[in-house]
Amino acid sequence: MALAEAGARGRLLRWPRVLLFGDSITEYSFQENGWGAYLAERLVRKCDVVNRGISGYNTRWAKLVLPRLITESTSADSIVAVTIFFGANDSALKELNPKQHVPLEEYAANLKGMVQYLKSVDVTADRIILITPPPLQESAWEKACLAKGDKLNRCNATTGQYAQACVQVARECGTDVLDLWTLMQKNQDFSSYLSDGLHLSAKGNSFLAAQLWSRLENKLSALPSLLPYWRDVDHTNPEASLL
């Protein structure tokens, strides 16, 4: 059978999608042992996990980008889950990092605006998960800053205020939330979760993956595997199984 004919006979295969939207902690999540890679492995043959992490970005920039990633006419109906994971850059100290800093009230408004936009294109609240920034290990991040000729430009207490704002937005908007800042500090020495005081270590990636999967598993468990298991394909008439 010609490929064009097979395509005409068969229904278009559309993989559902999980969209990971965030800053560098999301962008790096497909690295070896990353939390995004973990999700992609768990969801193979069920849906695509799409990495839209953009290193260095804050919510002021992200809210402008989001409508270019998801529109009602092209893609919203295939979205089964979206993570919105910003705050590590927004919470940078204004006097030391004015380019990335976003004031706390604007950060909350930007998150709320992104959730409202998703709802407007029919991505319902139950498919949205907000993730707070992780805690900041100041001494390790200060070393990373000094190595670049900069001063310590973030502090954990300030990051915590942004995390609390993220939790509040989720409560007001009816979405799920993963309060990484609080959960990681239940273990008093949280430094092992971070590679440089800000970004996640292998242990931090594993921790986030497990926490996120516990929230996604129920949402996505009913998704069928796409295409039949190879032993179930009728080898004498594969068209009957695959088209």
For the annotated catalytic residues, the residue numbers are 24, 196, 199
Task: List, as one string, the DSSP characters of 142-202.
Answer: HHHHHHTT------HHHHHHHHHHHHHHHHHHT-EEE-HHHHHTTSS--GGGBSSSSSB-H
* 162, two tokens: 């942004």
Q: 81, 16 in Cβ contact below 8 A?
A: no
Distance, CA of 41 to CA of 184 (rounded, Å) = 24
Distance, CA of 143 to CA of 176 (rounded, Å) = 34
Distance, CA of 19 to CA of 127 (rounded, Å) = 10
Q: 81, 129 in Cβ contact below 8 A?
A: yes
- The SS3 assignment for 83 reads strand
49-72 core/surface letters (b: 16 or more CB in 10 A; e: else): bbbbbbeebbbbbbbeebeeebee
Query: Is residue 19 within a helix (H) or strand (E), and if so which, with residue range?
Result: strand 17-22
Residue located via tokens 């706390």 = 104
Q: 33, 96 in Cβ contact below 8 A?
A: no
